[in-house]
Amino acid sequence: MGLSGSAFDFSGRAVIVTGGTQGIGAALAGAFLRHGAEVLVCARRAPEALPEGGGRKAVFHSADLREPDAARALVDAAVERFGRLDVLVNNAGGSPDADAATVSPRFTEKIVALNLLAPAYVSQAANLVMREQESGGAIVNIGSVAARDPQPGTAAYSAAKAGLLGLTRALALEWAPAVRVNHITTGLVRTEAAAAGYGPDGGAAVRDVLPMGRMAAPSDVADACLYLASPLSAYVNGADLAVHGGGELPARYTAARGAGGS
């Protein structure tokens, strides 16, 4: 269930959600639309259907944000369409698992570019617009628990996400007070694209290691993002908001419990 109330009225505000055509990104875009914002989403390929909310649809812009020129063009497209830019959500990212011992340098470059360099490029362009507006702006970076708790097969991804958290804190220092920059650490989120990674049981075993007893829904991340983009977080800058349900139970605890220990 989305948050409501005047603090979450984004009428007259313009929002960019990168990677906003599916999964978490689509949920983010839909939440901002429902709360009155004009929303531009981007991906490399146009989706079959665009996110909707509040009786309106998001606008689509095709972009490969690993290219600095494409990142600047994305921001330009939003300003041309809406006349302003109030919120940027750097959501695009991800990576397939890969063996760090054999993965190619090209693969590593692409993963770091998508998960770290692209947010830096788009943020830089967005800041140039936001800092000139009387109301400033807000940037929210969507990170991952992999930044602090890597799993096998995620070396490049985990390193890039750790870098994104560092980038968030650095930009928060440089761009305040006009532009606030914050970070959301996501845990396991149940999306259609990620379902294959949760095992043949549909994630039942995974739920057993989560204190909340369930994986996050995309709307959980969306609600946190609305908060960080809203006036309620006017003094929140350089923060890392954990949306991971308390993390995961320690392996030694689950192993002992499974063996009948206490």
Active site residues: 157
Cis-peptide, bond into residue 177, ω within 30° of zero: yes
DSSP 59: E
- Contact by Cβ (8 Å): 114, 93: yes
Residue 21 and residue 41 in contact, taking contact as beta carbons nearer than 8 Å:
yes
Strands 179-186 and 240-243, by their bridges, are parallel
Continuous segment of H or E residues that includes residue 225? helix 218-229
**Distance between CA atoms of 230 and 214, rounded to whole angstroms?**
27
Largest CA-CA distance found in the chain, in angstroms, rounded:
63
Separation CA 151–CA 105 (nearest Å)? 20
Judge whether 139 and 181 are in contact, CB under 8 Å.
yes
- 129-136 long-range contacts (CB < 8 A, ≥24 apart) are 129/75, 129/79, 129/84, 129/85, 130/85, 130/86, 130/88, 130/178, 130/179, 131/175, 131/178, 131/179, 133/84, 133/85, 133/86, 133/178, 135/86, 136/177, 136/178, 136/179, 136/180
